[in-house]
Amino acid sequence: MVNVIGLDIISNTPSAEGIQLTDVERLNSVVENAVRFEELGFDGYAVGERHHAPFLSSAPPVILANIAARTSTLRLFTGVTLLSVLDPVRVAEDYATLDLLSGGRLELIVGKGNGSEQAELFGVARDDAHVTEHENYRVLRQLWSGEPVHWAPTPGRPTTRTVPLEGWVSRPQPLQPRIRTWHGSSTSTETVELAAEYGDPIWVANVQKSIEGYAPLVERYREAWREHGRDPKDAKVGAGFSLFLTRNSQDSVEAFRPFYERTAAGRVDTYNNFAPETLFQDYDDYVARSSFLVGSPQQAIDKLTRYAQVYGLDAISIPGNRGDLTERQWLESLELLKTEVLPAVEANLGAALVS
């Protein structure tokens, strides 16, 4: 079964119609959309973390606490928690508290984050971000063990915390015995190896490259999983997708072309500086080979099935707000995904397992 979560990184820029929301309106929309996702029967909702304009997502625990108070079954995700720049003690305390208040509904997606702005803000060199993220994750797991933590920074090794922990016991402890933590990555084999070491799932960014660009990362994760003697069926992979579905394929494909040309066309070459075969040459190629589920339900079924066969998908994220779509277009897309696409993908995967 493929779980579906909404993801909002909470950018606050004018809509396609030129409407600019106030910060209050934009933040309230995140909570309302999360409530809507629960009402529609989706599995979770993720709030991003950024610390620069035009984003309003600098305090995910606060926003997720509001969502927790308005929902009862929705899983609460971060997307991502910037462990590369944060103090792991602060992360442990904030999210353990959120897990308690939500009744044990928290899941983290951790990562170093995109862009240099937040790294510079917190004094972390971009080249050091993977090192600090991985070290902080190891500390976080110790803090959530309930046992005294003895830790000190390694001389000459970059760190976001300079004060040692000498027998520190973090309080409160999470409600869940072990909070599921997904390791987000787009290029780092070290990150997926860390996930395999701890028996954690991974979340593939799935934005800047075609499936061929990310497949080696997933393959390395599964290899490392086996190297640690873990059961292959327990390895979990999530990935991000965009969404615009209509009954008639051309309706959505042509309707989105102007938005692509306005926002993405100039970035096609830089999207995929990974391997030549992962480059998107133009809009049609982007529609065909990117993770954008644009077109008819059948096109989305075919694309998601292929991704699931290559990655072994256990969860996907879709936009948690309407973005450049109208309200009607967004709601229709969600309805088609829920009622037609996902059941068919499940059936395809089930048939493949039987055959």
Quick: pLDDT tens for 289-309.
Answer: 999 999 999 999 999 999 999
CA distance 253 to 42: 25
Range with the poorest average pLDDT among 39-48, 52-61, 269-278, 328-337: 269-278
| Residue 219 clears pLDDT 70, i.e. is over it | yes
Range with the poorest average pLDDT among 53-67, 243-257, 259-273: 259-273
Mean of pLDDT values over 120-140:
94
Q: Are 272 and 280 in contact (CB under 8 A)?
A: yes
For residue 118, what pLDDT is reported?
85
Residues 141-183 have pLDDT tens digits of 999 999 999 999 999 999 999 999 999 999 999 999 999 999 9
pLDDT band at 264 (very low <50, low <70, confident <90, very high): low
| Residue 208 clears pLDDT 80, i.e. is over it | no
For residue 277, what pLDDT is reported?
54
The structure tokens 């800047």 sit at: 208
For residue 268, what pLDDT is reported?
44
| Residue 251 clears pLDDT 90, i.e. is over it | yes
Name which residue leads in pLDDT, 1 or 316: 316
Q: Which of 233, 252, 248, 338 is nearest to 292 (CA)?
A: 252
For residue 352, what pLDDT is reported?
55
Tokens of 289: 């080979």
Strand, coil or helix: 303: helix
CA distance 38 to 6: 10
| Residue 19 clears pLDDT 80, i.e. is over it | yes
| Reported pTM | 0.94
Task: HSE, CB side, 13 Å, CA atoms: give it for residue 308.
Answer: 23
Query: How far, CA to CA in Å, does 263 sit from each of 11, 53, 257?
Result: 14, 17, 10
CA distance 254 to 238: 29
| Residue 281 clears pLDDT 90, i.e. is over it | no
Cα torsion through 309, 288, 42, 46, rounded to 10? 100
Tokens of 272: 């995929």
| Residue 8 clears pLDDT 70, i.e. is over it | yes
Strand, coil or helix: 183: strand
